[in-house]
Structure formats: structure tokens, C-alpha cells
Chains A and B, each alone.
Chain A
Amino acid sequence: MREILERRACITGIGQSEVGRRLGRDPLALTLDACLAAIEDAGLTRDRIDGLATYPGAFSGAAGFSGAGITEVHDALRLRLDWYSGGVEAPGQLGSVVNACAAVACGLATHVLCFRSVWEATAQGQGGRAGFGVGGAGGGAGFRASGSLEYALPFRSYSAANWIAMTAQRHFHEYGTTREQMAWIALNARRNAAKNPKAVYREPMTLDDYLGARMISTPFCLYDCDVPVDGATAVIVSHRDAAQGLRRPPLGVEAVGTALRGRPSWDNFDDLTTMALRDAAAMLWERTDLRPRDVDVAELYDGFSFITMAWLEALGFCGKGESGPFVAGGQRIALDGEIPLNTHGGQLSAGRLHGYGFLHEAAVQLWGEGGARQVAGSPRVAVAAAGGGPIGGCMLLTRA
């Protein structure tokens, strides 16, 4: 039997900065708040951190998309690193955490500080959500599209909202999925956010509110799109042999999913009803004997509501094409349902912490610290998944 090497890694601490709309704070300060909180949470000190990982690292392609890169955090904390890695070409935002797991499994590092930092709310200011190539997101006079945007921007297709909307539309067409069903991703998120003091949108939302919201890109309305915030999240990945005697019981990394077996493309993926996440999810189950029915809580990326539905299908919580009926009514995905989903409110209501928020919440739930939103029955297995379109990655965590 082959060894599943990521099981040499575990999560030993988590941290998060203040989270909010237009905090106006220095993004490196937010990042360091999260990093220092995670180090302390693990019961470590900074001199024991010998690895550093982040997504996307230093990045200028979109306003506020990256609050700090490896270099700034490394230097600000005067870390003594044996290994570090930052970059945007990864299996989703959690690809950076998977890199950290691989690094500790290989013995390149013992305690890796992983972080994701955004300040999109402040950076985008009062002007609303920016699209790629326009509105301060890499555009400007004379700007010409190239790379992955070359075959999107010339068609006035400026945002992942447009691209994921087309995936959702194809799903609606093939499987009869409806907006009334998809609404429950947003309604469930808001219901849970009401119990999360750090969530940015906590007022109750009804189905009528959802259906009455302005359209962004059909079939997505405003409430299908996550909300840009300022905030940073950090987690500590430790080698299991170094995790004993720390402050918390370590959370095991049972399996990760990083595959992308189809084309890395928004418009030329082989199945227009799903995305790269299909392959990441398949790989995760190839690396464990646990099954979807063993999962107690699911924290699944909701940059757009439909992405969560695609993750539900890909991870096998429902059948292919069945996510609409599965989420409709919101009972199955409620805190007391068969698979509690996005228990903190997701990015739709708690704020777009961009992937790491889901991993953070999975750890909160497994450590039983969810407060009013804590899933009952002392959950032992959680899945965290991040990414949509041509990126996706996921992790299955367990508490001993």
C-alpha cells in the first residue's frame, strides 16, 4: 500500500485579521495580524517557523487581490526559512497549503506559515466591483489583452462572473436547475452568517430578496456573487512528529485533491457544466478510504453560488446534475442538515477571504469553536475546497 504522504502533515493553528468592508488599513498590517495570530494559536513562536507559503504572492493583476507576498512577510517577521513558495499558478488558493503539506512531508520544513491576504474592498473603493482589464484592474490606455484573457476581454467578457455564469447556464439547460434552487446557496450562507460575529452581511435574506435583486450576469444576481472585503487568514501546517505537545490537538490532513486533467480553460473545458474542481475532487477520493457520507461539515468555495453546487456534485454529496434539487429548500445543507455547508456564511455573506476562509472555518468546526454556528455532534471530518473555473483544490481534514 502506497503511503499517502500528505498525512505526514497536519494543521496546528489558525489566525485571522479583522475582516470588513473598506477597513482602509495597510494590507501588510492585516496580513501580519493573521500570521501572528496563527503562530500564537498553534503555541509556536516565530523562530520555529521555517516555511512560508501563500497564494497568489506578489501580484498586480487586479486591485487589492494580494495584500502581501512572500518577501514582505518573510522580511517583516525576520523569518529564517528553509522553504518558501508563493504563486498564482496553483491548484486553487489552497494549492499553497498543499504545497506546504508536501514540503513538510519531504522534510523541507517543519512548521509552515500559510497565508492569504486581500484588500479588494478598499482597493476597489466606492466604484464597485472591477472587471479585468478595466476599472483599475490592470487596464488603462493602450492596454491589450494577452494570455488567458486574450480570448475573453475582447468580447466584453470582463469578469469571472460572466465566465462562471455560462457554466451555470449550461447546467440549467442540461439538468433543469433553477434560480430558485441556486438561491439556497446564498440563503444558507446568510442564515449561517447571522451566527458569525465576523461576517460582513448578517441581516436576514429571503427568497424574495434574492429573486428581486438586480442581475449581474444571467443567471447570477447580486447575491450570487461574493462580497469583496479586506482581511487576511493564516494557517500553520506542521509535520505530525513536531505537532505533539503544541497548544491544540493537530488536525490530520487525510487527503488532498489537486488534479486538473481537463484543459485549463474557461471556455474549452470538456464539460461545460462543471470545472477544474471536478478533477481535484476526484483525486481527493482516490487518496482516502473515507467517503462523502463520512464528512461532517463541508466548506465549499462560493465566489459565485454555482461554484458551490459544482463542488457538491464533484465531491459526491449528490449526483452529477442533482445539486439543484439537493440544495433546494436548504434543509440538507443547514447546520443541522445531512451536510452542513459553509457554516460561517461563505464568501457570499462572511466576505471574500478567497479560499482560506473555508479552510479556517473547517478547522474552527473540527476544534468545536464555532460558537452559535457550531455543528452539533462534535464533527470529526471536514472538507475544505477552493477555486472555480480553471483552478481548484481541496483538502480533507480529520480530528483524532
Chain B
Amino acid sequence: MSEKPFRVLPRVTDLNRHFWTGGAQGRLQFLRCRPCGSYVHPPAPVCPACLSRDVSPSAVSGRARVATFTLNHQPWVPSPDHPYAIAIVEIEEQPGLRLMTNVVNCPAEAVRIGMPVRVLFEPYDDVWIPLFEPADA
């Protein structure tokens, strides 16, 4: 994208830093439980599957599918690019591992449920926002 839109940025903490800054190395990272292998999102200090505290950041492939989406027309914040696509994508590595995001680099009207997408990052200040684009883009 040529011009970056306004975004409310996340407050970075020790618990979420891997997620919001992994994009600096091109990596989409989630906490992952070492004993059972589950990914944990949003980040939490205990694995919700096995209650192990042995969780640490782990990169995923960045491949996902659009689970659902909406085209936002309402100018909550003035911007020339309405409507834009907000989506929930499901990460390839784990069924049910979902993330709210934007689908970019395609017309908003082209977004479909089930569409394969891949991650890209948009840097703002000290964070890298994970966005998704069509996998065949």
C-alpha cells in the first residue's frame, strides 16, 4: 500500500511484544506451548489446553484463510480508502487459531470467505501490524 491509513496502535507489553514486533523480521509469532504444541492467542502466560506455563514465542508460516469478513463503509476515522476489508482469518497451523486483521492488496469487493491469504506487515512507530493479502497476489 502506498499510503498507510491511520491506526490506533496497541500498547506493547512483555506478554505481547513477540506478536506486535515479529514483523520486523517478517515473522508472525504466537505463543506456543512446548509440552503440547498448542498456539495461544491472545497471548496468555498459561497454555489453555494443558495449563503448562512453558509457553514461548514461535513463528508460523503466515498462511491463513478468511473465516469471515466485513467491508467497513462507516467513516469512524476519515480516510480515502472506504470501504476497506476487516476480516477474521484462521491460521493454517491450528484450527480455531484466529485473528482479526485487514485484507489488503486486492479490491475490498474481492474478499471471500475461504479465500487463502498470507501475512504481510505494516510498520508504525514501534509495532508491525500483521495484515493479509491474497495468497496468489
Q: Which of B13, B42, B129 makes the CB contact (< 8 A) with A154? A: B129
Q: Which of B7, B13, B42, B73 makes the CB contact (< 8 A) with A156? A: B7
- Binary A-proximity of B39-72 (CB < 8 A = 1, otherwise 0): 0011000000000000000000000000111111
Min distance, Cβ A150 to any Cβ of chain B, angstroms: 5
CB-based contact A154/B71 at 8 Å:
no
Chain A contact residues, majority secondary structure: loop
B113 CB contacts on chain A under 8 angstroms: 169-170, 173
Alpha-carbon distance between A266 and B87 when the two chains are bound, in angstroms? 12
- Is residue B8 within 8 Å, beta carbon to beta carbon, of the partner chain? yes
B69 CB contacts on chain A under 8 angstroms: 166, 169
CB-based contact A217/B70 at 8 Å:
yes
B98 CB contacts on chain A under 8 angstroms: 267-268
CB-based contact A268/B41 at 8 Å:
yes
CB-based contact A155/B74 at 8 Å:
no
CB-based contact A268/B96 at 8 Å:
yes
Q: Which of B5, B10, B67, B77 makes the CB contact (< 8 A) with A272? A: B67
Min distance, Cβ B12 to any Cβ of chain A, angstroms: 8
Chain B 88-133 interface residues, beta-carbon cutoff 8 Å to A: 88, 96, 98-102, 113, 127, 129, 131
A131 CB contacts on chain B under 8 angstroms: 74, 76-77
CB-based contact A135/B67 at 8 Å:
no
* Number of residues from A at the complex interface, CB < 8 A: 41
Chain B contact residues, majority secondary structure: strand
CB-based contact A151/B68 at 8 Å:
no
CB-based contact B96/A166 at 8 Å:
no
Min distance, Cβ B45 to any Cβ of chain A, angstroms: 16
- Is residue B135 within 8 Å, beta carbon to beta carbon, of the partner chain? no
Alpha-carbon distance between A155 and B96 when the two chains are bound, in angstroms? 19
- Is residue B24 within 8 Å, beta carbon to beta carbon, of the partner chain? no
Chain A 142-190 interface residues, beta-carbon cutoff 8 Å to B: 143-146, 150-159, 161-162, 165-167, 169-170, 173
Alpha-carbon distance between A165 and B113 when the two chains are bound, in angstroms? 13
- Binary A-proximity of B10-22 (CB < 8 A = 1, otherwise 0): 1101001000000
Knowing A134-B77, A267-B88 touch, does A165 contact B100 (C-beta < 8 A)?
A: no
Chain B's interface size range is 35 or more
- Binary B-proximity of A199-226 (CB < 8 A = 1, otherwise 0): 0000000000000001111111000000
CB-based contact B10/A145 at 8 Å:
yes
Min distance, Cβ A304 to any Cβ of chain B, angstroms: 11
CB-based contact B10/A216 at 8 Å:
no
Knowing A150-B16, A155-B86, A272-B88 touch, does A144 contact B68 (C-beta < 8 A)?
A: no
Knowing A167-B68, A268-B98 touch, does A159 contact B10 (C-beta < 8 A)?
A: no
Residue of B nearest to A168 (CB): B70
B68 CB contacts on chain A under 8 angstroms: 166-167, 169-170, 173, 272
Best-surrounded residue of B72, B73, B96, B99 (most CB of chain A within 10 A): B72
Best-surrounded residue of A146, A166, A220, A272 (most CB of chain B within 10 A): A166
Knowing A165-B70, A215-B73, A216-B74 touch, does A155 contact B102 (C-beta < 8 A)?
A: yes
CB-based contact A146/B11 at 8 Å:
yes
CB-based contact A156/B84 at 8 Å:
yes
CB-based contact B11/A158 at 8 Å:
no
Alpha-carbon distance between A335 and B88 when the two chains are bound, in angstroms? 38
B36 CB contacts on chain A under 8 angstroms: none
CB-based contact A133/B71 at 8 Å:
no
- Is residue A325 within 8 Å, beta carbon to beta carbon, of the partner chain? no
- Binary B-proximity of A109-151 (CB < 8 A = 1, otherwise 0): 0000000000000000000011101110001000111100011
Min distance, Cβ A162 to any Cβ of chain B, angstroms: 5
A369 CB contacts on chain B under 8 angstroms: none
Knowing A217-B70, A217-B72 touch, does A156 contact B5 (C-beta < 8 A)?
A: yes
Min distance, Cβ B84 to any Cβ of chain A, angstroms: 6
B10 CB contacts on chain A under 8 angstroms: 144-146, 150-151, 153-154
11 contacts between A and B (CB under 8 A): A130-B76, A145-B11, A150-B10, A154-B9, A155-B102, A156-B86, A158-B8, A166-B69, A173-B68, A217-B74, A218-B73
The 5 closest A-B pairs by CB, nearest first: A131-B76, A144-B11, A165-B70, A170-B68, A153-B8
List B residues at the A interface (Cβ < 8 Å). 5-11, 13, 16, 41-42, 67-74, 76-77, 83-84, 86-88, 96, 98-102, 113, 127, 129, 131
